[in-house]
Structure 1
Amino acid sequence: MFRRLLIANRGEIACRIMRTAQRMGIHCIAVFSEADAQALHVALADEAHAIGPAPARDSYLRGDRILEVARNAGADAIHPGYGFLSENAAFAEACEAAGIVFVGPPAAAIRAMGSKAESKALMVASGVPVVPGYHGDDQSDGYLAAEAARIGFPILIKASAGGGGKGMRPVFAAPDFAAELAGARREAKAAFGDDRVLLERYLQKPRHVEVQVFADAHGRIVHLHTRDCSVQRRHQKVLEEAPAPDLSAALRDRLHQAAIAAAHAVGYVNAGTVEFIVEGDDAFFMEMNTRLQVEHPVTEMVTGLDLVEWQLRVAAGQALPDHWPPDAEGHAVEVRLYAEDPDHDFRPSIGMLQRFFGPPQSGSIRVDTGVRDRDAITPHYDPMIAKIIAAGADRGEALERLAAALADTQLRGLTTNLPFLRRLVSHPAMRAAELDTGFIARHAAELIPPPKEAPAVVLAGFAVVYLARMRFDAAGASPWSQCRGFRLFGAAEELLLLRDAVRLRRVLVRDRRGRMEAVIDDGPPLPIDADLSHGLRACVDGVWHPLPFTLEGDVIDLTFAGEDYALHLVDPYAQRGGEAAVDGRLSAPIPGRVVQVLVQVGDHVARGQVVAILEAMKTELRIAAPADGVVAHIGCAAGDSIEEGTEIVTLAPPDGSASLP
């Protein structure tokens, strides 16, 4: 077995690999960029080495620097995790040339499966069914448009190299093809350095089902059952489970055998995943991921295996056990907790984790993460915070446990998809396993409801916390500066103006000789009490409600009944300086790179029209006009790297009035 292992990755997967390797007595070597100097994977490693600036292209994608560190540190193996260099055939070859074991498949297998077009041709030759489409070398726009017409709309444009939903665009009508092709090429070029694409028939209600395969260097290949990864947004997975539910025994067996045939076709070794599109009783090969998958924990939970341990054992030359594949027992479900805003098309968010408490871990609950309290989610890398996994004797029990685990999870400081995940795992259609890749879009009204007003208990909770802080801050000061609300006669009153996600709210708090009450928006008096000794609990009408919260400046984030609420204290006497100046100004929501500016000064634009495309955190963000207007100014150009808040486009009203509506 290896003595010293370098992990060429970061975050959650680096921590996860270390956990197994250190248990096996292997010395773990971490690498880190300037942005990750204080990261959790650096703290957990036995030693850690800097490899460059924050951008991945200058650090985690620099195979030459990573190999230099490996040689200097005496590593005898490199585990690439997933993403970055994990599916880079040239890096695998460089490791071999340096005499360092690459914990993964041979370079030839990576190369064969790295091109979707070439892998599909190989699968056809091996008798594995594929979706009808075009996988050829002619990449001219005109020829691709003709092939799309031949296949018939709707079609799916996919980047030939890579995966993860990058460079993937559905097209429903011929007039949209050129624009979507250009967008797919841009994403593919940015993500993989290769803008070639392929075309496939776009199935209407497909499921995304995959098979975990494992192969040793002695010629043995086995399957480790199925996973369903159909619940996705922007073609990226949100929820995964094992085994895939509601497959007939015959279809399940066909998937297992097709996956093994695919692995045999490329001389595969180590862990890999063969992905299929399933519709009804039909199954088509989609791609093979020549690495460990993000969703591997659900397979571990139902098989009792440690897949990283077996990756290391196979890479060291050991054979797979004769009794494999083990049976799948029970069911497991995983969700990905992201720093993103479902209310704005799952736009990535950045900031500091003011508080992050996962559920208690046990034999049935697992949390894989690479962050902790006070860590920052930066614009440089994928915004995943953690994976939360639950197992049960059956699917229903696994979902119940996952719902409870999400209810126990607290996260403050930035926008996340936690409330969305809570709604997802409890949705009746999820419980009924009505799964396909359109699940989120079909149930968007329930999963992503419009913002709603904060309930009275939340507003009362804010008032209690804010006034308690004012009084604490004033403790020990002169009597004239303290904010204790003393009145010689009558009730002490404090008026707070709060803005929730919908509108301005008026909260009048009265202290009648220690008995508190709140009047919300001129409604009836609401008796309140509070216990701040163990976090905030508000007692409203005799019922105690826990209100987990964080307070930063004049903004408080509270959770009530599984929903998060952000409330802002409004100063009625503050000047409104600068507001008119920013009317119509479209600025960057997060740092990124300008891909395209689609308008010119003087252009008339309609509400909802995309005026620019920004690339940030591996995602293309479309900046759209909030109202009809005329382009008055453009503050950036294609290729510019811009910071959050930078002007992109400023619109003037179409009628020449002073400001946009």
Structure 2
Amino acid sequence: MKANKDFDLEIKPMAQTTDLYSNNPLIHRDRRLGLSSSEWVRSFSCVELKPLIVCRGPIRMEAMTVYEEMGISHYGILLSEKDSIVYPNALSPELRKLTDNNRVHRVPDYTGASKEERVERIGQIIQIAKDNGYDSIFAGYGFMAEDDEFVAAIEKAGLKFIGPCSATQRGAGKKDEAKRTALTVNVSVTPGIDNVTARTLIKKHPSREALVAVVKAEGLKVDKKVLDNKKLSLEELADKILMASYEKGLDLFSIEELCQQVKTECAEMFKNYPGSRIRLKAIGGGGGKGQRILGASLLTKKNPSAADIEKAAANAPGLVREVLGEVKATGVGDNKNVLIELNIEQTRHNEIQLLGNGDWCIALGGRDCSLQMHEQKLLEISVTQEGLAHEIDQAKKAGLKAQVKALESDLKVLKRMEEESERFGKAVGLDSASTFECIVDRDRHYFMEVNTRIQVEHRVTELVYSLKFTNPKDKNDFFVVESLVEAMALLALHKERLPRPERIARFGAGAEARLNATDCSLSPSAGGVIRYWSTPIEGEIRDDQGICIPNPDTGLFMRYTLAGAYDSNIALLLTKGEDRLDSYNHLAKVLRSTVLRGTNLATNLEFHYGLVNWFLGQNVMAKPTTRFVVPYLTLVGKLKEEANKLDVVFAFLAMKKHFAKLYAGDPEVAKSVSEILDRKGTLLTRPMEVLLKDPHLLAGWLSINKKNFKLEKGKLVWLRNPLVVLEETYEYLNMSFDPARPSAEVIWSHDNELLQNALQFYADLREKFGLAKEDYAKLNDMLGKDKPQGGFDKETWEKIQAAHQGYEIGNELFGILFLIADRTEFFDFRVEDDLEVTIPGYLTDPDLQAAMKKVLVPPPATKADEIVTPGGGMYYAQEAPGLPAFVKEGEHFEKGQPLFILEVMKMFNKVPAPFSGTVDKILIDGTEGIIVQKGQPIFKVTPDEKFVEVDPKELEKMKRETTGKYLEAIL
């Protein structure tokens, strides 16, 4: 923080230490306003605040750090025992920093498994705060952050909630209420139904008299003026009655009745919006929980029949039970409302960061969160008016008219979203940090929901904007806040006194990659152990909840078990830059430099590296939709499928034989060529094998190298010197020569010597001929001339040509990688001039997507008579409590039929049958809440068809035949 009129507290960077955060520009600031020479600034000191932190993950560590920098010494943290119950060695890494046991408080779980447990937990947390002298509670972006009952209980207990108040939580946090508020203040909303519970109640009690009778029969507390108000519609009256039933803890209809009403409403929407899908959202969901999409079978049907609609709507009841179960809203008296919305297919997910004090509300730019899967965000980037204006100016200078038009449209949409978000924030009395979320469809946008909490990706906004709070009586008296966590603490303590701040531009762009415990197909993979994590590079911002804090006694890395009881996030990796391209380049460097090792450890690190480089190779200003990631993964799966057919070593040996045959007439030349190829063997094959082994790395590499080759009549032609590309490939793979690193991780010294000699040879020639590094084709053409060039004599020219031939021979092998792109039509998935992303239609085929998922992550090894778990997690045999199991012993099942549910990192995943068969025996004792490990047998079965394993020798033969066909195109 910078403070006061003379900047007497303008902070210089703190001394570099071995601390994880020494390279983090967002922290290590002196935020102690009480030290300012300005009386007005000092009045906003927060040292007396005593917060209890009741969230987990990176935000808990961030809050601890920021509070300490603000001079807040009396804070505590809440730990859930669920992490260590699921995985015994999953101790909270924050405890390496907070060693005072008196400030660490434990509960079985943050929210409890039922409504009764949740109420009990709320009381327990409040009592912990009171018993330990805390005056406030911070819930971050955790489970309790958007719980209006929790916040109301905190307020009633005389404590402060560091976040939006309960009134704002009710008005904006519940998706149905927020949508109604949006409509009243002229905010664009998605078409749909926000009161299906009211309609369900009316279906059961279809008149005003019948509804009033329910109130009397159940003894509900509903204001008589409401009951007598004839101006209220039946649906409005039903809503009021339902609110009273929640207060009393009553259900006025069954879940089955609700499911049938949702089915009816969905069928009607399918009729009104032919060819569209419907999104079902539990009003208490968030972070991807409690959402399902219905109607995939109708997407291609412009005029669906009544039978088509009935069949699609028939799936609604099951999905309703899923979303309610996922947000734990199945208890008696729970608000079970579900939004039924038109699913905008070609949509981007944009959100606006908001901050308010109940009187003023300010928008802090946007974030594009479209790159997500299963509603879980993966890569988030800043979207600001300043940033878009800069990109428009650059595109105009480059003469990119279509790009200019697309960016100007984005700028207009952003301005409208910011205006609407501030209007909405004021309408609900926003008095802390929140996020106004929208879906963007080209030049239109629709309000989606408000997250009444700080977001996981809030640091992206902190990178591009800071807040300047100025004394209303003296414009030279001010302080600057660069942390939203700090701003929330200031608002909790000094809400009404804080003047509306001015947003100050910081860096041109920011980006965040969520490092998650997921496998190559982005499926959750919990329970791995991190044993080593490379230190952050300069400028890297790594929020990892303290995993990288070294042992204070030895300075060594301490292993950490990823619990995964709640979510898959390991860390947040952020970068900033002058513009988006700069931030993407820096993010690529961070991802490339990150080395993460462990036992049974799977992360999305390589996915992020490939994805970031895909955009660098295409256009970082591209407009991907929320449907981008799954087709992209499918394409990556096709790369893997094709790469699996190749044998690099066989290809190299076959190439040697080709050249031996070619020069068979001159034994001396043939011997020389053989020796040269032997020297180049590992130089060429080692990086190729790495790329072929990991399709995400290959996808990124192909993207940034797509302009380095072309195909002419089926033959590969290099447009750049392949040795330059080879050097860049070693750098791309983080394998550049470094004598301090293990030789297995870098280019070998003799290979590096050969490569550097070759590069120097061409550099000297370019200098002699006055050519640029990009003039490879021209240089190659000159070296092919019999007549000496550049003033060289004939003898020297022949030696130069011989050296050129020696350096270039065999490099053809590297071209196999480009042929994989051609065979898989990799470059058909592209960014157009108007920044829209073209996704080939075949990549959206569900069967192909499922098949490529298995290619990316082959199923666990299993016997032909077993069904095993695809991963670790919590096993459930039925869809919801009280419902029958998916299958029973002796029953026949069809391929694709759900067999059980696996809860992994707060998401419920139905596991389909990989083949048809009969259940002989169920091997799990119990139906729900059972922890299982990856590959654990669940059923003994008799398959309908016998599995035939492919002979390894036949596989090897097939690989050699395919490799031979590739060689024909490069030799």
**2:108 is matched with which residue: 31, 50, 53?**
53
| CA distance in 1: counterparts of 2:947 and 2:743, whole angstroms | 45
Residue 351 of structure 1: aligned partner: 528
Residue 728 of structure 2: aligned partner: none
| CA distance in 2: counterparts of 1:190 and 1:248, whole angstroms | 35
Q: Tell me, yes or no, if structure 1 residue 232 matches structure 2 residue 372.
A: yes
**1:648 is matched with which residue: 938, 945, 960?**
938
| CA distance in 2: counterparts of 1:601 and 1:55, whole angstroms | 37
**1:252 is matched with which residue: 390, 399, 414?**
414
| CA distance in 2: counterparts of 1:440 and 1:312, whole angstroms | 36
Q: Tell me, yes or no, if structure 1 residue 280 matches structure 2 residue 562.
A: no
Checking the alignment, whether the CA contact within 8 Å between 2:76 and 2:105 is kept in structure 1 is no
> Equivalent pairs: percent with the same residue?
29
Displacement of 1:442: 3.1
Checking the alignment, whether the CA contact within 8 Å between 2:542 and 2:574 is kept in structure 1 is yes
Displacement of 1:68: 2.0
Residue 124 of structure 2: aligned partner: 65
**How does 1:112-127 map onto structure 2 within 5 Å?**
112-127=171-186
Checking the alignment, whether the CA contact within 8 Å between 2:357 and 2:429 is kept in structure 1 is no
**2:751 is matched with which residue: 537, 543, 548?**
543
Checking the alignment, whether the CA contact within 8 Å between 1:225 and 1:243 is kept in structure 2 is yes
Checking the alignment, whether the CA contact within 8 Å between 2:346 and 2:627 is kept in structure 1 is yes
**How does 1:441-456 map onto structure 2 within 5 Å?**
441-448=630-637, 449-450=639-640
Unaligned ranges ≥5, structure 2: 1-45, 85-89, 201-257, 299-308, 330-334, 389-406, 467-481, 549-557, 650-691, 695-736, 754-816, 818-860, 879-884, 951-971
| CA distance in 1: counterparts of 2:313 and 2:561, whole angstroms | 39
- Report the 3-state secondary structure (helix = DSSP H, G, I; strand = E; otherwise coil) of the residue aligned with 1:158: strand
Counterpart residue type for residue 68 of structure 2? Q
**1:369 is matched with which residue: 531, 544, 553?**
544
Deviation per CA, 1:348-399: give whole Å up to 9, x if none. Answer: 332211222353252xx31111134411111412120000011111111110
Q: Tell me, yes or no, if structure 1 residue 438 matches structure 2 residue 627.
A: yes
| CA distance in 2: counterparts of 1:182 and 1:607, whole angstroms | 19
Checking the alignment, whether the CA contact within 8 Å between 1:340 and 1:417 is kept in structure 2 is yes
| CA distance in 2: counterparts of 1:540 and 1:455, whole angstroms | 21
Residue 486 of structure 2: aligned partner: 309
Residue 315 of structure 2: aligned partner: 179
- TM-score normalized with structure 2 length: 0.54
| CA distance in 2: counterparts of 1:299 and 1:581, whole angstroms | 51
Deviation per CA, 1:281-330: give whole Å up to 9, x if none. Answer: 11111000101000001100011421111111111115445551334640
| CA distance in 2: counterparts of 1:60 and 1:658, whole angstroms | 48
- Report the 3-state secondary structure (helix = DSSP H, G, I; strand = E; otherwise coil) of the residue aligned with 2:462: helix
- Report the 3-state secondary structure (helix = DSSP H, G, I; strand = E; otherwise coil) of the residue aligned with 1:168: strand
Residue 205 of structure 1: aligned partner: 346
- Report the 3-state secondary structure (helix = DSSP H, G, I; strand = E; otherwise coil) of the residue aligned with 1:119: helix
Residue 904 of structure 2: aligned partner: 616
**2:282 is matched with which residue: 159, 165, 168?**
159
Displacement of 1:416: 0.7
| CA distance in 2: counterparts of 1:314 and 1:361, whole angstroms | 33
| CA distance in 2: counterparts of 1:335 and 1:455, whole angstroms | 33
Checking the alignment, whether the CA contact within 8 Å between 1:607 and 1:626 is kept in structure 2 is yes
| CA distance in 2: counterparts of 1:415 and 1:580, whole angstroms | 20
| CA distance in 2: counterparts of 1:281 and 1:170, whole angstroms | 24
**2:62 is matched with which residue: 16, 24, 31?**
16
- Report the 3-state secondary structure (helix = DSSP H, G, I; strand = E; otherwise coil) of the residue aligned with 1:402: helix
| CA distance in 1: counterparts of 2:277 and 2:940, whole angstroms | 36
The alpha-carbon distance between structure 1 residues 374 and 225, as it changes in their structure 2 partners (threshold 3 A), is same
Residue 293 of structure 2: aligned partner: 170
- Report the 3-state secondary structure (helix = DSSP H, G, I; strand = E; otherwise coil) of the residue aligned with 1:543: helix
Displacement of 1:587: 3.1
- Report the 3-state secondary structure (helix = DSSP H, G, I; strand = E; otherwise coil) of the residue aligned with 1:160: strand
- Report the 3-state secondary structure (helix = DSSP H, G, I; strand = E; otherwise coil) of the residue aligned with 2:455: coil
The alpha-carbon distance between structure 1 residues 17 and 541, as it changes in their structure 2 partners (threshold 3 A), is closer
User: Which is helix-richer, 1 or 2?
Assistant: 2
Counterpart residue type for residue 78 of structure 2? V
**1:43 is matched with which residue: 96, 113, 117?**
96
| CA distance in 1: counterparts of 2:937 and 2:95, whole angstroms | 36
Deviation per CA, 1:66-125: give whole Å up to 9, x if none. Answer: 222211221122111112111111221222222221101110111122321221112112
The alpha-carbon distance between structure 1 residues 321 and 396, as it changes in their structure 2 partners (threshold 3 A), is farther
- TM-score normalized with structure 1 length: 0.77
- Report the 3-state secondary structure (helix = DSSP H, G, I; strand = E; otherwise coil) of the residue aligned with 1:162: strand
Residue 331 of structure 1: aligned partner: 509
| CA distance in 1: counterparts of 2:527 and 2:128, whole angstroms | 30
Deviation per CA, 1:149-197: give whole Å up to 9, x if none. Answer: 3323311111122211112111224424333542343233332425431
| CA distance in 2: counterparts of 1:327 and 1:539, whole angstroms | 42
Deviation per CA, 1:589-615: give whole Å up to 9, x if none. Answer: 213031524223344434444322222
User: Which is strand-richer, 1 or 2?
Assistant: 1
Checking the alignment, whether the CA contact within 8 Å between 2:916 and 2:943 is kept in structure 1 is yes
Deviation per CA, 1:249-279: give whole Å up to 9, x if none. Answer: 3322211111011111211101111101111
The alpha-carbon distance between structure 1 residues 328 and 539, as it changes in their structure 2 partners (threshold 3 A), is closer
Deviation per CA, 1:549-598: give whole Å up to 9, x if none. Answer: xxxxxxxxxxxx9xxxxxxxxxxxxxxxxx98674232362130315242
| CA distance in 2: counterparts of 1:593 and 1:44, whole angstroms | 35
| CA distance in 2: counterparts of 1:446 and 1:208, whole angstroms | 22
Checking the alignment, whether the CA contact within 8 Å between 1:32 and 1:42 is kept in structure 2 is no
Q: Tell me, yes or no, if structure 1 residue 144 matches structure 2 residue 434.
A: no
| CA distance in 2: counterparts of 1:256 and 1:57, whole angstroms | 37
Deviation per CA, 1:15-58: give whole Å up to 9, x if none. Answer: 01111110011023112133468412233237432323367627
| CA distance in 1: counterparts of 2:640 and 2:914, whole angstroms | 17
| CA distance in 2: counterparts of 1:280 and 1:531, whole angstroms | 47
| CA distance in 2: counterparts of 1:69 and 1:252, whole angstroms | 43
The alpha-carbon distance between structure 1 residues 444 and 325, as it changes in their structure 2 partners (threshold 3 A), is same
| CA distance in 2: counterparts of 1:610 and 1:15, whole angstroms | 39
Deviation per CA, 1:471-501: give whole Å up to 9, x if none. Answer: xxxxxxxxxxxxxxxxxxxxxxxxxxxxx98
Displacement of 1:223: 0.8
Residue 566 of structure 2: aligned partner: 381
Checking the alignment, whether the CA contact within 8 Å between 2:324 and 2:336 is kept in structure 1 is yes
Q: Tell me, yes or no, if structure 1 residue 223 matches structure 2 residue 381.
A: no
